[in-house]
């Protein structure tokens, strides 16, 4: 990237930050904000910042493990991608930061990968997040004093999460069989459309190939638990 483009990106970033800070604080009385700021416990704030940073480090390590089967990603660029996604999600609705992270991993690192492959890695991470959160819910709910009714939507989400995880696992264990089935399904869509779909599916299947390793599965699960 040329220096002019870097300066332009930095200027746009600063401009967006100033705009969103203005939109955030324009309806907040500064006296009230300063009064509440003085009540902040600096020890608790420091502890939360440290634990938050450790969480980011665990997320980056998990991404490195999942990306290892695709290319030799270094840790620092992957950590930067985590920050890109976090800031994007904080500033832009609909979790656009995840798409920004997909693009960063595909374009900004030392290697070039299809977006479908890096998207598969992000999807796999979110599936592990859901699995860990639901395991935590099952572990904590029996310890609560008041019995909380579990809604039907919880079980639907659990079934969907397990199904997606099982599908990703099948793609990593039997990639040729999965591609053969997809090729048969899209065979009647026309040559161009079939080729386009197969290109994206092949890249996606390649993106979840790390799950075929038991060691990678264990490390991804443990790093997800440490993050949460």
Q: What is the pLDDT of residues 75-111, one digit of tens each?
A: 988 999 898 888 878 777 677 788 888 888 888 766 6
CB–CB of 65/125 below 8 Å? no
9/20 Cα distance (integer angstroms): 16
CB count, 10 Å around CB of 184? 9
**What predicted TM-score, i.e. pTM, was given to this entire model?**
0.77
Average pLDDT value for residue range 132-144: 73
CA atoms lying within 13 Å on the CB side of residue 77: 15
Q: Which of 98, 63, 60, 100 is nearest to 207 (CA)?
A: 63
Q: For 43-85, where are the E strands, in sequence order?
A: none
pLDDT at 9: 67
């Amino acid at each position: 990237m040329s220096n002019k483009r870097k300066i332009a990106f930095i200027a746009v970033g600063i401009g967006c930050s100033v705009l969103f800070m203005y939109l955030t604080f324009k309806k907040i009385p500064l006296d009230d904000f300063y009064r509440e700021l003085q009540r902040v416990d600096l020890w608790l704030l420091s502890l939360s910042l440290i634990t938050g940073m450790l969480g980011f480090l665990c997320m980056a390590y998990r991404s490195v493990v999942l990306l290892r089967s695709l290319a030799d990603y270094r840790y620092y660029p992957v950590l930067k991608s985590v920050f890109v996604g976090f800031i994007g999600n904080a500033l832009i609705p609909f979790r656009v930061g995840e798409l920004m992270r997909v693009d960063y991993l595909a374009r900004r690192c030392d290697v070039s990968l299809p977006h479908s492959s890096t998207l598969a890695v992000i999807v796999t991470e979110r599936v592990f997040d859901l699995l860990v959160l639901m395991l935590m819910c099952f572990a904590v709910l029996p310890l609560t004093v008041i019995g909380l009714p579990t809604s039907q939507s919880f079980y639907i989400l659990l079934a969907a999460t397990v199904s997606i995880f099982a599908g990703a696992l099948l793609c990593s264990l039997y990639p040729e069989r999965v591609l053969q089935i997809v090729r048969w399904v899209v065979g009647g869509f026309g040559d161009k459309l079939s080729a386009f779909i197969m290109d994206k599916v092949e890249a996606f299947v390649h993106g979840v190939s790390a799950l075929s390793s038991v060691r990678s599965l264990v490390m991804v699960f443990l790093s997800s638990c440490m993050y949460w």
